[in-house]
Structure 1
C-alpha cells in the first residue's frame, strides 16, 4: 500500500494513540469489538482523528466533502431548508459541521432568500473543528456569526431543521462475519505485526441483528463479511422525542438494506482515507486516518419510524439537488465566465452517477410537516427502503 509518509510529529501522535489503543485492548483481556476500536481511533480525547489538531477536510486534508466543492451545494440546499423552517420553526442544527463551510454558505444563501434562521446551532464535539468553523464563519459570513452557537449535547426539545452531511458514516460500526460454523464478531487484538482481526462468536443484540439480516437478505451462509451499525440508527432514534416539528435531513453515502447486504458485497464497506488516498486498512496510522462505513439507510429509517418520525423522502443526492434547484443556481452565474465553468465542473461531481450523484443519498425524517419536500418531488426512492 503506497501511501504518503507522515512527518515525525504526526507519526509520534499516531504512536501515542496506538499505545492508548493497545492499552485498551490489554485492559479488556486482549480483545475489543471493532466499534470500540473505531470510536477511540476517531474520537479519543486529544488523540482521535476528529478530536486532534490535524486538518481533515479540503485540498490540504484527507478528503473533500460536497460543501468544499462549491457554494452551489449550499445554495441548492437553501430552498429545502427554508421550506422546512417555514413549516416548523426558524432554527437549524447542523451535526458534524466539518470546516464550517456548509454553515457559512447556507446562511448566506438563506439570507439571499430572505429566510435566515433565528439561530444556527452546530453540534460538534471536536475543539479543533469548532475553532475552524468559527474562523470560516468569521471569514465568509462575519455579519451572521451572532446567529451561530455551538452545542455540547442534543437539545431537550427542538422545532426546525436538523442537518447532517456525512455524519452517519463516521459513527462506529460492528464488524461481522457469517461463516458455516456460525455468526462471528470481528474484533481487534494484538498480533505479531500490531493490530489484527480476531473473531469471537457474536452475542446479544448484535447476534440478533445479524440473524435477522441473514433471514431478510440474501447473505451467503459462509465467508460473508460486513458491518452492522448500531450507533447511527440509535442517533436517529434519539431525535424522535426531541423533534416537536420539522425534519432531519441527512446526506451520506450508503444503500438501502437489500443493496447494502448484497451477495456481491461480501467484503463489507469499511473504507479509510489518508491524504486523499482511499484504502481498506483501519489499523494503518491510527489518529491520522479517517475510518468510515457506508450507511444502511433502511436501518436509519426503521429507527426513526419506531421513534415517532415519518420518512419524508429518500433519493440519490444528484436527484435531490436537481429537484432543489441546483441548475437554477448554476444558471444564475454569468455564462461563459471562469466562475461559471468552474462551477459547472463541480456540479458534474455533485450530480453525475459515477461521481457523488448516485453513491450519496439523501433521507428526510420528520414530524408535523404537511407539504411534500422540494428535494423529493421527483425520483423519490422511499419504496426501496
Structure 2
C-alpha cells in the first residue's frame, strides 16, 4: 500500500522524482500506512530495533535519579517533557522511580509525553494513563514557556533528511524515482536554497564521491523545542557525529540506512513502510542552534560516561544465585551492557545543554 502511495507521489511530481526527505517522510509518517504510525510493534524482540530504554529499567531509573538531583539540588522546576516518547516505556520507568523514592516531588510533578503516532499514544495511555502526573501532547507547540527538564531519546535520528553528494566536482541532490515498478535513485544538480544556506553557514566542504545528509527537519524541530525553553535543561540522547567526525573517510558514504527485523539494510529503498529508516545526527548543528536560542552546551558525553555520572551502578543488585537467567542476573547483565566498552551504549552520545542555570549549580551528584 505504501509503495503504491510513493509511486503516486513520484508520478504526480513535475519531474517524476521526490527528494529523500519526502520519501522518508512518507515511508515513516504517512497517515495510517507509514512505519511509525501503523499498527505494528517496532521496538523489542518482536520489532525491528532496540533502544536503551527498552533494555530493562536501569536506564530510565538512572535518568530519574538524575532528574531528582536537578530538581532538589539545582532548583529546576518539577516538570519533565519527553520528546518522541514512543510507547511510554521510558516514561513509566522514570515515573515509577520518582513515585517510589520522592513523594514530595511526585506530588508536584508534571510529565509531558510528546508523540505523534496514534499507535504509540494508545500504548502510552495503557501503560501510564493511571498516573495523574502524566500529560499527553502531539506536538512540541502544545507546551510553551517551559521551565524544567526537556529530553529526547533517539528522536532526531528518525526525522527525514535530504541527501546530497559531490559528483565529479559538483554538488548534486539524490532523489527517488520509479522505473519498471522499482524505486531507484537519481541525481540532479543541487539547487535547493535551504540546503545551500545550510552548507554555507557551516562551511561544509565535501570530498569527491562523498555522500552527506542535510537535516533541515532536525533543525526545524530542534528550534521549536529550544525556543520554548525559558529555563532548565535540554538533554539529547542519540547517535551521531561532530562536523569534524563527519569529514572522516569512514563516514563518506553517509549514514542513511534501514532496520528490518533487527538486520541493518544499506538500501533505504527496501521494504518501504515496513522498515525503520534512520541517520546519524549532526551534534554541532544542535549546539549552534542551541546557542542562538540562549542554550549553553555543558558537554557532549559518550552515553556510558553519562550513565556513570547519573549513578547507574547503584542499580546493580547483589545476589548469590547461580542461575544466569535469574531476574537479578539478567538485570545486572543489562546494566553492564550499557556501560562496558563495546556494549549497547557504544554508539550513543548525550548532549547536555542548559538555560538560565546558575554557574555554581552542580548538575551531577558528587
Q: TM-score w.r.t. structure 2 length? A: 0.91
Which residue number corresponds to residue 120 of structure 1?
A: 111
Give the whole-Å Cα distance in 1 for the aligned partners of 2:299 and 2:211: 30
Which residue number corresponds to residue 19 of structure 1?
A: 4
Q: Where does the alignment leave 5 or more consecutive residues of structure 1 unmatched?
A: 1-15, 378-385
Give the whole-Å Cα distance in 1 for the aligned partners of 2:10 and 2:354: 40
1:185 alignment partner, SS class: strand
Q: Render the CA deviation track for 1:261-302: whole Å, top value 9, x for unaligned.
A: 322211111121111111112211111100000011111111
Give the whole-Å Cα distance in 1 for the aligned partners of 2:2 and 2:145: 36
Which residue number corresponds to residue 206 of structure 1?
A: 195
Q: CA RMSD, aligned part only?
A: 1.8
**1:111 to partner: Cα distance:** 2.0
Kindly report which structure 2 residues correspond to 1:1-385, keeping only aligned pairs within 5 A, or say none: 16-29=1-14, 30-86=16-72, 87-114=75-102, 115-116=105-106, 118-137=109-128, 142=130, 145-154=131-140, 155-192=143-180, 194-203=182-191, 204-210=193-199, 215-216=203-204, 219-220=206-207, 222-330=208-316, 333-337=317-321, 338-370=326-358, 371-374=361-364
Give the whole-Å Cα distance in 1 for the aligned partners of 2:295 and 2:121: 29
Q: Render the CA deviation track for 1:24-78: whole Å, top value 9, x for unaligned.
A: 1122121111111111111111111111101101111111111111111111111
The structure-2 alpha-carbon separation of the partners of 1:82 and 1:25, relative to structure 1 and needing over 3 Å to count, comes to same
Mean CA deviation greater in 82-91 or 23-32: 82-91
Mean CA deviation greater in 64-73 or 333-342: 333-342
Q: Where does the alignment leave 5 or more consecutive residues of structure 2 unmatched?
A: none
1:64 alignment partner, SS class: coil
**1:358 to partner: Cα distance:** 2.6
**1:193 to partner: Cα distance:** 5.0
Q: Is the 8 A contact 1:313 1:373 kept in 2?
A: no
Q: TM-score w.r.t. structure 1 length? A: 0.86
Which residue number corresponds to residue 4 of structure 1?
A: none
Mean CA deviation greater in 42-51 or 255-264: 255-264
**1:199 to partner: Cα distance:** 1.0
| Structure 1 residue ranges (4+ consecutive) displaced by more than 6 angstroms after TM superposition | none
**1:202 to partner: Cα distance:** 1.4
Q: Render the CA deviation track for 1:83-133: whole Å, top value 9, x for unaligned.
A: 334422111111111221100000011223313352111110111101112
Q: Is the 8 A contact 2:52 2:345 kept in 1?
A: no
Length, aligned pairs only: 351
Q: Is the 8 A contact 1:236 1:300 kept in 2?
A: yes
Q: Is the 8 A contact 2:43 2:49 kept in 1?
A: yes
